[in-house]
Chains A and B, each alone.
Chain A
Amino acid sequence: MADSPPPVLALREVSKSFGAVRALREVSLSLIAGEALALAGENGAGKSTLVKILSGVHRPDAGRLLLDGEPVEFHGPADAQAAGVAVIYQEPTLFPDLTVAENIFMGRQPRGRLGRIDRRAMRAQAAALFTRLGVPLDPEQPARGLSIADQQLVEIAKALSRDARVLIMDEPTAALSGNEVTRLFGVARSLREQGCAVLFISHRLDEIFDLCQRVTTLRDGGHVADDRIADIIPDDLVRRMVGRELGALFPKQDAVPGEVALQVRRLTREGVFTDVSFEVRRGEIVALAGLVGAGRSEVARAVFGVDRWDAGSVQVGGRALRPGSPAASMALGLALVPEDRRQQGLVMELSIERNIALAGLAEVRHGPLISRAAERVRAADWAQRLQLRHRSLADAVDVLSGGNQQKVVLAKWLARQPSVLIVDEPTRGIDVATKAEVHRLLSELAVGGIAVLMISSELPEVLGMADRVLVMREGRLVAEIPRGTATEETVMAAATGIGGGGA
Chain B
Amino acid sequence: MTITAKRPGATLRDSGRGLVERVARVRELGIVVALAVLFGVTGAVNPEFLGLDSLRDILLNSAIIAMLAVGQTLVVITRNVDLSVSSVVGLSAFGGALVLADNPGLPIVVVIAGCVLLGAACGAINGLLVGAAKVPALVATLGTLYAFRGIDYAWAGGRQVNAADMPDSFLSLGSRPVLGVPLLALAAIAVLLAVGWMLRNLRSGRELYAIGSNPAAAVLAGIPVRKRVITAFVASGALAGLAGAMWAARFGTVDAAAATGKELDVIAAVVVGGVAIFGGSGTVYGAALGALLLTGISSALAVLRVDALAQTAINGALIIAAIVLDRLLALRVAAALRRRRYRDAR
A143 CB → nearest B CB, Å: 9
Interface size class of A (residues with CB under 8 A): 35 or more
Asked if B216 and A177 sit within 8 Å, CB to CB, the answer is no
Determine, out of B6-14, B48-56, B182-190, the stretch whose residues face the partner at the interface: B6-14
Judge whether A179 and B214 touch: CB under 8 Å: no
- Residues of chain A within 8 A (CB-CB) of B206 are 98, 102, 106, 109, 117
In the bound complex, CA of A177 to CA of B345 (Å): 13
Of all chain B residues, which has the CB nearest A147?
B341
- Which chain B residues numbered 195 to 215 have a C-beta less than 8 Å away from chain A? 201-203, 206-207, 209-210, 212-214
Q: How far is the CA of A176 from the CA of B1 in the complex (A)?
A: 10
Known pairs A97-B280, A107-B221, A117-B201; A145 contacts B334 (CB<8 A): yes
Contacting residue for B4 out of A136, A179, A272, A458, CB 8 A:
A179
Say yes or no: A459 contacts B1, CB within 8 Å: yes
Cα-based distance from A114 to B198 in the complex (angstroms): 10
| Known contacts A93-B220, A93-B221, A98-B209; A141 and B16 CB within 8 A of each other | yes
**A161 CB, nearest partner CB in chain B, Å:** 12
Q: How far is the CA of A111 from the CA of B341 in the complex (A)?
A: 32
Residues 270-285 of B, flagged 1 when their CB comes within 8 A of A and 0 if not, give: 0000001000110000
Chain B 314-346, CB within 8 Å of chain A: the 1/0 string?
A: 000000000000000000011101110110111
Residue of A nearest to B219 (CB): A77
**A29 proximal to B (CB < 8 A):** no
A99 contacts B by Cβ under 8 Å? yes
**Does the CB pair B20–A95 fall under 8 Å?**
no
Q: Are B4 and A141 in contact (CB under 8 A)?
A: no
Partner of A77, one of B203, B222, B333, B342: B222
B210 touches A98 (CB 8 A): yes
Alpha-carbon gap, A173 to B13, bound state (A): 23
**Does the CB pair B341–A145 fall under 8 Å?**
yes
Taking A95-B217, A136-B9 as contacts, is the C-beta distance between A109 and B16 under 8 angstroms?
A: no
Bound together, the chains give a CA A294 to CA B216 distance in angstroms of 31
Whether B17 sits at the interface, judged by CB under 8 Å, is yes
B222 to chain A, nearest CB (A): 4
**Which residues of the other chain, A, contact B2 by a CB distance below 8 angstroms?**
173, 176-178, 181, 292, 457-459
Q: How far is the CA of A136 from the CA of B12 in the complex (A)?
A: 5
Q: Cβ of B217 and Cβ of A93 under 8 Å apart?
A: yes
* Chain B proximity mask over A472-497: 1 for CB below 8 Å, otherwise 0: 00110000000000000001100110
Cα(A292)–Cα(B206), bound, Å: 32
Closest Cβ neighbor of A457 among chain B residues: B2
Contact across chains for B342 and A111 when beta carbons are under 8 A apart:
no
Give the residues in chain A near B214, CB-CB below 8 Å: 93-96
Main secondary structure of the interface of A (DSSP, over half): loop
- The smallest beta-carbon distance between A481 and chain B, in angstroms, is 13
Least CB distance, A207 to chain B, in whole angstroms: 8
A21 to chain B, nearest CB (A): 21
A246 → chain B closest CB, angstroms: 17
The answer to whether the Cβ of A135 comes within 8 Å of any Cβ in the partner chain is yes
A30 CB to nearest B CB, Å: 24
Given contacts A134-B10, A136-B9, A138-B13, is CB(A97)–CB(B213) below 8 Å? yes
B19 CB-CB contact with A under 8 Å = yes
B313 proximal to A (CB < 8 A): no
Q: A115 near B: Cβ within 8 Å?
A: yes
Given contacts A134-B10, A136-B11, A179-B7, contact A206 B1 (CB under 8 A): yes
Q: Are A99 and B338 neighbours in the complex by a CB distance under 8 Å? A: no
Least CB distance from A150 to B in Å reads: 8
Contact A291 B341 (CB under 8 A): no
Min CB–CB distance B1 → chain A (angstroms): 6
Check B3–A289 contact: CB distance below 8 A: yes
* Chain B neighbourhood of A181, CB < 8 A: 2
Q: Is A67 positioned at the interface, with any CB of B under 8 Å from its CB?
A: no
User: Interface 1/0s, chain B 15-56, versus A by CB < 8 A?
Assistant: 111111000000000000000000000000000000000000
**In the complex, which of the residues B1, B218, B333, B337 has the most CB atoms of chain A within 10 Å of its own CB atom?**
B1
Cβ of B223 within 8 Å of any chain A Cβ, yes or no, is yes
B224 within 8 A of A: yes
The reply on A142 being an interface residue by CB < 8 A is yes
Report the minimal beta-carbon distance from A77 to chain B, rounded to whole angstroms. 4
- Cβ of A338 within 8 Å of any chain B Cβ, yes or no, is no
CB nearest to A174 among chain B residues = B2
A317 located at the interface, meaning its Cβ lies under 8 Å from any Cβ of chain B in the complex: no
Given contacts A96-B213, A107-B221, contact A116 B207 (CB under 8 A): no
Measured CA separation A458–B3 after assembly (Å) = 7
Report chain A residues within 8 Å CB of B179.
none
Name the contact of A131 in the complex, choosing from B10, B19, B203 (C-beta under 8 A): B10
B5 at the interface (CB under 8 A from A): yes
**Contact call B222/A141, Cβ cutoff below 8 A:** no
Complex contacts, B20 vs chain A, CB 8 Å: 97-99, 140-142
Q: Knowing A76-B222, A145-B341 touch, does A177 contact B17 (C-beta < 8 A)?
A: no
* Complex interface residues of chain A between 59 and 102 (CB less than 8 A to chain B): 76-78, 80-81, 87, 89, 93-99, 102
Does A57 count as interface, using CB distance less than 8 angstroms? yes
Whole-angstrom CA separation of A272 from B206 in the bound complex: 34
Which listed residue, A76, A93, A291, touches B3 by the CB 8 Å rule?
A291
B3 touches A492 (CB 8 A): yes
A283 interface residue per 8 A CB criterion: no
Complex alpha-carbon distance, A291 and B339, angstroms:
17
CA distance A323 to B6 in the complex (A): 33
Residues of A within 8 A of B219 (CB): 57, 76-77
Report chain A residues within 8 Å CB of B15. Answer: 138
**Given A77-B219, A179-B4 in contact, is the A95-B210 Cβ separation under 8 Å?**
yes
Q: A81 touching B222 by the CB < 8 A rule? A: yes
Cβ contact of A492, chosen from B4, B7, B17, cutoff 8 A: B4
Inter-subunit contact A138/B202 (CB<8 Å): no
- Contact digits for B241-282, partner A, Cβ 8 Å, 1 yes 0 no: 000000000000000000000000000000000001000110
Cα–Cα, bound, A87→B217 (Å): 12
* CB pair B203 A475 closer than 8 Å: no
Residue positions of A touching B, CB distance < 8 A = 55, 57, 76-78, 80-81, 87, 89, 93-99, 102, 106-107, 109, 111, 114-117, 127, 131, 134-138, 140-142, 144-145, 147, 173, 176-181, 204, 206, 271-272, 289-294, 457-460, 474-475, 491-492, 495-496, 498
**A to B CB contacts below 8 Å, 6 in the list:** A99-B20, A106-B221, A111-B203, A142-B19, A180-B7, A291-B5
Q: Which residues of B contact A (CB under 8 A)?
A: 1-20, 201-203, 206-207, 209-210, 212-214, 216-224, 276, 280-281, 333-335, 337-339, 341-342, 344-346
Closest 4 CB pairs of A and B: A141-B16, A145-B337, A178-B4, A177-B5
